[in-house]
Structure 1
């Protein structure tokens, strides 16, 4: 017998994709968490700028300065960090102080929440839903170096998240400060964390983009703009976006919008089934590993490469998944390149000659995906096909009637389940 598993994957009530959707309350919590972090970050920056002004205007002594720090949100930092931020504020040059006082944080959502590929975790804990919400700081940049030191700015973002941690200690919120390129706030009871990377962008270019956007919004043409076109019209030059690296005490050029735009364009060219299949590959990964496995962006890149190069019928998710699975092991053996050209030769997954035991195991599980999927499609009964599929995708789907005889399966006439994410503008937001 040959089986068609399209409805097993795509049915909007009982299929796999329906079980990956976040509930309305989960989406609301994630959106509220994002807003809470953004608002607190703006408050922390406002307080720090006020204190920086008072250092000069009131000729603050070290004791007075430390008192003001302790009585602000900066007081949630450790004693050593409060001493450090006191010295940083005291020792600013006039130019540095002026540059710092002119900073007004902006924010831009990124990662799976942005791509609309965020899944319900399978192993809870340790798996979590995540938001990546970049804090963008427009400032003067000289000789490829932002004018305000990144250590001060990292401490301000840390103070924002640490204050929320302490104020929500009764709910188990936890600050994580050992990530090299972001600060993290975990909410274990909700199986959620939010990562806050920090970027410096050139102030004058950013100002021109904001002014252009304001003019556009006031015009009759604004209502005719798609969000993608609006995003492109306000995009900064990628080589002028600098990411703060905590562990190396430096900035490095890095623009997450490159990958976001690459995936949006890929979905536009290949079809909506690309996004659905990326979520299905991630669902397989989350069942097979409670921690680790191939990264989400690695699986997305493999899916895009396969579907660009091979003719396929995107209206049959089962057959298209077979296509992806058949190519995945060799893609992992060859190495998976980043879709971001500014990454140079950086690989999302190393080639075979650099594989450790971890990478070798990932390749073996990718081979198992291929062979197990094939076995499910030709087994004798629907119940056996369902049992085999559950070894790949977990026990979320229980209705074997979603598995159809291939010769009896109707052509696919409805789109895969479309998620309805909490709306977040593609353009950079002030809050």
Structure 2
């Protein structure tokens, strides 16, 4: 018979406030983690920018800098002045005959570049690009990279002949200039002398950087090319030193192309997470059912379902699972102990035949209701035997 009892709804559990506090703490932790990740990313990006900025910088002592070459020039009596804007470079060049060391300057227009080099007696291009070569050495252009092995000068330029063989790195087509260090139809050094001045172009990264200056004839070649005059003006261009209009970089210009897509994806994921977690208006409240069903009725109903399905093996499995769980608890085994382990432990504790115990708990397959009833009886007897072996009754005194 079914009994119904009306029970008042339960109030919110008293630990709702701590749960709400834990959720707030979780979101705060996520925010702090994002800030830390962003800070780390910014630091890595800044480190990469400084590493790039140090390349061929005459004040840098890093592997890619050229501080060693600047000091060698000073030891040879050459005054090396580092100019980090074109105004300072032009003022230094105006003091007398000087050599202008010019890296790639993409922030300068063609007119500003021509105005800068006009005051120099000699020009040494240490990072020649196609535009710079076309402006200062017409007909020349980049032509690939030479092999790593040293190459002899192979030209009549005295500065190269005295320096000897080097590994030039990038090579260029000569055009109207004189080419040295040949690699096929291209050359590692271009020299054009006219109107009492000279323009030379060479890839300085594998030759004049601190980590490579002592190799082959690199140092001698650098001093021969740059030390022809008592003053060397080493121009180090920056993004702020420009005459181009609208050159202020935007956030999109300073970030890789994939960053925008990742930001959009993160926003969509954040909105989806907010909808997912925000659909609840408060913590879940546990509420009792208004009807109480006795355990015997639940058991009988499930038994009728098994009987109607005509599947004694499934019913036997349910009986065995319950028996195994109870026997394991009696024997002090772990909750996740395997069925063979429980069967062996039960046989050892009760002294029963091991095969018979394994058949009862695992192997025997019931073919019908009679076999199922017999199996149920054996399971009950085995459980009673284990209980008696584990908890024997004390003899009364």
Q: TM-score range by the shorter chain?
A: under 0.3
When normalised by structure 1's length, the TM-score is: 0.22
When normalised by structure 2's length, the TM-score is: 0.23
Relative contact order, higher structure (CA 8 A, sep 6+) = 1
